[in-house]
Every structure is written in C-alpha cells, then in structure tokens.
Structure 1
Amino acid sequence: MTDPTEKTSSDPEGASELFKELTTPSRRNFLRTMGISGMAAATAPVWAQAAQLAPIDDSEKPLAKGEQRITLKVNGQPHTLNVPGNAVLLDVLRDRLKLTGTKKGCDHGQCGACTLHINGQPVNSCLSLAAMHQGDEITTIEGLERNGQLHPIQEAFWAHDAFQCGYCTSGQMMTAAAIIKDPNIGADDASVREAMSGNICRCGAYKNILAAVQDARGKVQGAS
C-alpha cells in the first residue's frame, strides 16, 4: 500500500508535502486560535474567523419579554446585545459572540475552564450575569494575542507542553496571565500552585503548567 505522504515521481507538484502540511496539527496555531472554534480554527479560513469577531448591534431590534439591552466591551470590541436578564456571561460569549475559547466545564465555578478577565482580574464567567458587566473591560482567551504576537503565557505553554487535551488550557492561561504580573506570587512554586488552585487539569499536566507560569512570570517581571 502506498504511503500517501511519500513523494513520488507521480507527484511532480509536491502534493504529498501539501497533504502533510494540512494534516499536521500546529501547536502554535492551537494556542493562537483555540478560542475561536477549538483545534479546527487552526485551519479555518481567515474571513470566517473575522466574521465571528465582527461587532453585534441589536439596537434596532425590539426587546422581547424579559430582555434588556446591554453593551459589552469584549477584547476591545463593543457589542450591543438584547439578552434575558438572567443570561450568564459565559453563555452570551459562546452563543451570541461565538467566542468559544472560554469553555463551559462544571458550570458551577469549581473547575476554572471558563476563566476570563474582567477589568484585568480573573473571573469565573459561568457564575456571572452578562447584565452585570455593562462598561467593563472583558478579555477572553481570543484577546490575549496582540497584533499577531502571542502573549508570553501562550508562548510559555507552547514551549513547556503545558497542555494535553486542551479543554482547561484557556482558563489556565487566563488565570496565569493575571497572576504573573503580581510580584507577591511566584517567588516560590507553592504560591503559584495556590494562585492556580481554582483551575483543574483533569489530564494532570500540573508540572508543566507550573513550569510555564514560572517561565512567563520571569520574562514579564524581568521586562518591567
């Protein structure tokens, strides 16, 4: 049986090389775009990704019974949304804005998979109502990368293989991105473990996560 990745004389245009390129997962792209639609986002068309990040404006739509109009500023982009008063922030981000990097894990604030930043502080979005965050600065995993440059914590997770299945990774990185700026956390590994204790990794990648956090912390605080 012929190996489909083997280049032969019948493959003058290098089709086998293209096959390998398209079917080899990119760990860097995983960290950059995991929040848009998981691993599949690494190969998603650029236009499709851009469409998912376009601002939403419900201001011309009539409010349904029980709805209220709010404006959420997410990753620097304002969105005007008609949402039920009891709409959970996590669900609004995932279902309305299609920012699916923030994961729904336990849905009880116990696993940390849904962690994002509200005004720079890590928050479990499954426990927070969307209507509470009018005017707040909300940052999701999709917002860590700036101008094509990965955040130091994303670079560190990549370098230290600090993920396995990846489901908890976005929440781990959002908590880590907040604590690496705190000079009171990280002088010893125990303080990092304590600060990260709200984020559960069911694969047990804690050793590598700790190494990644300490690496990023050293680089961020060293550059300050």
Structure 2
Amino acid sequence: MDDLSDITITRRSLLIAGALTATSAAMPLSADAQTPATAPSSPPPSMTKFSFDVNGKRQMLEVDTRTTLLDALREHLHLTGTKKGCDHGQCGACTVIVDGRRINSCLTLAVMHDGGKITTIEGLGTPAKLHPMQAAFVKHDGYQCGYCTPGQICSAVAALDEIKQGIPSHVSPDLNVKPLLSAEELRERMSGNICRCGAYSNIIDAITEVAGGTA
C-alpha cells in the first residue's frame, strides 16, 4: 500500500507540474524581459528630376522613380480631372493623350515621358470654351455619374484622330474605305473605356456628331 500511495502522489505531482509549465509558457513576458525586434530599415526612395509639357505648359518635377503618370498628374500637378479608377489599366478612367496617342496613365511611369507632350481633360477645353467633344457629350447626355467621362472624352478625341489617319481597328472590314467610321468601329475603338452607368449609345452619338458621320 505504501508503494502504491507513493506512485499516485508522484503522478499527481507530474500532472500539476505539467499544467504549471504550460501556463507559464502562455503568459507574456514582462516588459523588462521583452526585447523589441529591430524593424528592417527600408532604403530611401530613388528620386529623379524631369520635365514635360502638360496642356501647353512646361512642368518640372522631382518624384520617386516609381511614381505613375497618373499620380504625377493628380498628386503633384493637382490635375484631378484625370480619374483613378481600377488602377490596373482595365477601366480607362485615367486615359490621357501623350504625344498624340491615348494611354492609360496608371500603367506608365512619369519618368518615361521626360520631354513628352501630355494633354489631359483640363487641356482640351475650358468651361467658357468647351472642346467640340465636350460639348457633344453635354448635348447627347454622354455621361451620368461622370466619373469615366474625362477618360471617355480623351479617348474619343484620340480615336477620331486615329480614324483620320486611316489607322484600322480589329473590326475594320475594308482598309480602303475612308473614313473608317461606323457604330461598330466606334464601339471597338472605345472598348477600353468602361461606363459603369451604361451611357454607351449616347457616347457613340456624341462621337459621331463630332466626326460628322452617320454612325
């Protein structure tokens, strides 16, 4: 009996000791015992200076080399007409015209356009003197919420210039037909600009009027 009693006490002691060990391991260390982890130091941003022509005015900037053209226009030059939509080049809200071609400004770095010529929605017209495309959008109600409108208008202006140059689209049936203007052509050329409100038919009407066609 004495031996069995000793064994029982020993097992109980082991269980108690194990529970105390688990509890102490789960408790946080005291403030004095804690050693703060050293945060990894990030390298300073690489800055660069460059200049480009924006809406007919020479602009000098010094920005992080990772700055997109969209952020340079909005955050550094405060030209907030160009909108940040998806920020992945899928919606077209950030469309601007660079050296005569429309691009998604969220997909290109600002430093890549050193010496370039950039036109944003602010450079197309003013409230007192609208660009014909802006006036047509107003006339045909080519917008609802208006968020995509700056990109739509910039893209439409550039698309008509492409048609004028005879540049075909994926749906151009005959490259000898000039101008390459039809509702199908315009829809294809404007397919990179998404209108969440669905004002597509009005947008086509506005572009067609400016083009002088009957699409």
- TM surpasses 0.5: yes
Structure 1 residue 72: Cα displacement:
2.1
Specify the alignment match of 1:104 in structure 2: 84
Q: Which of structure 1's runs of 4+ aligned residues deviate more than 6 A? A: none
Matched, 1:138 2:118: yes
Structure 1 residue 192: Cα displacement:
0.2
SS in 2 for 1:83: strand
Q: Residues 204 and 146 of structure 1: is their aligned pair in 2 closer, same or farther, counting only changes over 3 Å?
A: closer
Distance 2:187 2:64 in 1: 37
SS in 1 for 2:58: strand
Q: Residues 173 and 186 of structure 1: is their aligned pair in 2 closer, same or farther, counting only changes over 3 Å?
A: farther
86, 91, 99: which one aligns with 2:66? 86
Structure 2 unaligned regions, length at least 5: 1-43, 167-178
Structure 1 residue 73: Cα displacement:
1.2
How many residues align? The count is 156
Specify the alignment match of 2:200 in structure 1: 206
Deviations 1:133-167 (A, max 9, x none): 01110000000016942111001001100000000
Matched, 1:158 2:170: no
Deviations 1:177-198 (A, max 9, x none): 1112323465210000000000
Structure 1 residue 122: Cα displacement:
0.5
Specify the alignment match of 1:167 in structure 2: 147
Report the AA paired with residue 202 of structure 1. Answer: R
Matched, 1:128 2:108: yes
Q: Residues 65 and 111 of structure 1: is their aligned pair in 2 closer, same or farther, counting only changes over 3 Å?
A: closer
Q: Is the 8 A contact 1:186 1:217 kept in 2?
A: no
Deviations 1:8-48 (A, max 9, x none): xxxxxxxxxxxxxxxxxxxxxxxxxxxxxxxxxxxxxxxxx
Distance 1:144 1:88 in 2: 22
Report the AA paired with residue 210 of structure 2. Answer: A
Structure 1 unaligned regions, length at least 5: 1-63, 220-224
SS in 1 for 2:115: coil
Q: Which has the larger radius of gyration?
A: 2
Matched, 1:70 2:50: yes
Distance 1:213 1:92 in 2: 29
Question: TM-score, normalized by length of structure 2?
Answer: 0.69
Specify the alignment match of 1:26 in structure 2: none
The root-mean-square deviation of aligned C-alpha atoms, in Å, is 1.7
Specify the alignment match of 1:54 in structure 2: none
Question: TM-score, normalized by length of structure 1?
Answer: 0.66
